[in-house]
A = this chain, B = another copy of it.
Amino acid sequence: MKSPSPTPNFAPIKTQRAFEVICEQIRAQLASGTLKTGDKLPAERELAAEFQVSRSALREALRSLEVAGIIRNVKGVKGGAFIQSAEPDRIVQAMQDYVHLGNISLDELTEARLATQDIIVRLACARASEADLAELEAIAERTRQETSVEARYECAAAYYRVLARATRNRMFGIFVDSLSAILHEFVQGPDYETLQETLIDSRFKLVRHLRARDADAAAAEMRKHLERVHRHVRKNLKAQGASTKTRKIPT
């Protein structure tokens, strides 16, 4: 055995690649406020010269920033890379990737959803405006008229997004979007049609509780709803067994 290294606490040598350095510099300018939403970066060929790297390396950096949702690339003259305004889509995507790669179980998802929705309902109960409530009702009404499963899902997503917005806290919107996007891949199944009617009823009930500012009743209604969905998904997962689509989330 060799002698152990005397001081094992060296700084980790990290071969920084060109695109990483570029990304860091741009991110730093973003965090410091030098760059802000709406700003336009120089053209690729120009930026490459400025950073003294090839256009390929610069493009990989820009591509990274784009998929991170930080910039938006637009073609044509007067095109270029524009600093994006904040969109939570990337967070949702990242969470979806994490679940696809990882080991989050359906039970964990549901528990997290129960917890966050409980908070959301209670906050919304305290803060929702009459306009919010009316919008919720309108969406629930529209859900009844939609026929396709996909359209109904869109309505459901809109409903919960408005509900989250009523908390006046954008963080909850992100949580909700992430969790429901992940669960969306699993809500289809044989009895989904019949379940839908129950779900829509539940949404009307929830609005009534919110309007009465009865937080406990609203939270209870939400809880019943989520547990219904959970049972539905769980049943379908068991029924379909080893389908490639469902194996991804262990129950």
Q: Which residues of A contact B (CB under 8 A)?
A: 19, 27, 30-33, 37, 56, 59-60, 63-64, 67-70, 83-88, 90-91, 93-95, 97-104, 108-109, 111-112, 115-116, 119, 169-172, 174-175, 179, 185, 244-245, 247-248
Contacts and interface: CB of A to CB of B under 8 A. Distances in A.
A63 B19 contact: yes
29 contacts: A27-B100, A31-B100, A33-B244, A56-B56, A60-B60, A60-B63, A63-B63, A67-B68, A69-B98, A69-B101, A70-B97, A83-B101, A86-B99, A86-B101, A86-B102, A87-B98, A88-B98, A91-B91, A93-B94, A94-B94, A95-B174, A103-B170, A104-B171, A108-B170, A111-B171, A112-B175, A115-B116, A171-B179, A175-B175
Given A63-B63, A108-B170, A171-B108, A91 B95 contact: yes
Given A19-B63, A32-B244, A170 B104 contact: yes
Q: Which 6 A-B pairs have the closest CB atoms?
A: A86-B102, A112-B171, A86-B101, A115-B119, A64-B67, A91-B94
A228 to B, nearest CB: 20
A86 B182 CA distance: 15
Contacts of A97: 27, 30, 68-70, 90
Contacts of A93: 68, 94
A249 B70 CA distance: 17
Instruction: Please tell me how many copies of the chain the complex holds.
Output: 2
Contacts of A67: 64, 67-68
A85 B102 contact: yes
A172 B69 CA distance: 24
A69 B98 CA distance: 8
Contacts of A63: 19, 60, 63-64
Nearest to A95: B91
Contact of A94 (B69, B100, B175): B69
